[in-house]
Amino acid sequence: MKRTSMVLSLCLSLTLGFAAVGSAADGKALYEKCAGCHGADGAKKALGIGKPIKGMSEADLTTALNGYKAKNYGGEKKAMMERQAEKLSAEDISALAGFISKL
Ligand code: HEC
């Protein structure tokens, strides 16, 4: 009986551990789709346009991504980002903004 509960609590802590790692890794995994244009560390000007996203605050990144998703943000090449952002959920956007702001 004691053994069972030990095994159970071990399983539970492993599951919780994985869940935590999973959500922390989300932004990183999502960013893989962005790195081609923005660079692995966000320092590249995407297609030579605008400013690098590295150094943007979490709040600015959230505004930008929500804006592209809502199609009311951006510059000349915003259609490109609108296509990227329309697939992102609110959760994805917050994970990405958190991750990119720390690059
Ligand atoms: C196909 C190339 C491409 C991909 C892939 C891409 N971007 Fe962009 N991104 C651009 C371009 C080009 C711009 C400038 C668009 C404009 O004119 O508004 C931009 C702009 C941005 C901006 C706004 C910067 C500013 O100055 O306000 C953010 C934030 C951003 N991208 C984040 C992302 C994220 C996050 C992803 C991945 C989900 C991503 N991008 C994927 C090309 C790309």
Convert the pLDDT of each residue in 8-35 to its tens digit: 454 445 454 444 444 444 999 999 999 9
The CA-CA-CA angle for residues 28, 90, 79, to 5°, reads 85
**Rounded to the nearest whole angstrom, what is the distance from the C-alpha of residue 81 to the centroid of ligand 1?**
5
Indicate if ligand 1 lies below 6 Å from the C-beta of 36: yes
Residue with tokens 């509960």: 5
**Rounded to the nearest whole angstrom, what is the distance from the C-alpha of residue 62 to the centroid of ligand 1?**
12
**Rounded to the nearest whole angstrom, what is the distance from the C-alpha of residue 96 to the centroid of ligand 1?**
12
Mean pLDDT (whole number) for 81-91: 96
**Rounded to the nearest whole angstrom, what is the distance from the C-alpha of residue 103 to the centroid of ligand 1?**
15
Q: Which pLDDT belongs to residue 16?
A: 47
pLDDT band (50, 70, 90) for residue 6: low
Q: Which pLDDT belongs to residue 49?
A: 87
Q: Which pLDDT belongs to residue 24?
A: 44
pLDDT band (50, 70, 90) for residue 1: low
The pair of structure tokens assigned to 46 is: 């995407």
Instruction: End-to-end CA distance of the chain: give it in Å, rounded.
Output: 48
Q: What is the pLDDT of residues 43-74, one digit of tens each?
A: 999 999 888 999 999 999 999 999 999 999 99
Pocket residue to mutate for ligand 1, from 26, 32, 34, 57, most atoms within 8 A of Cβ? 34
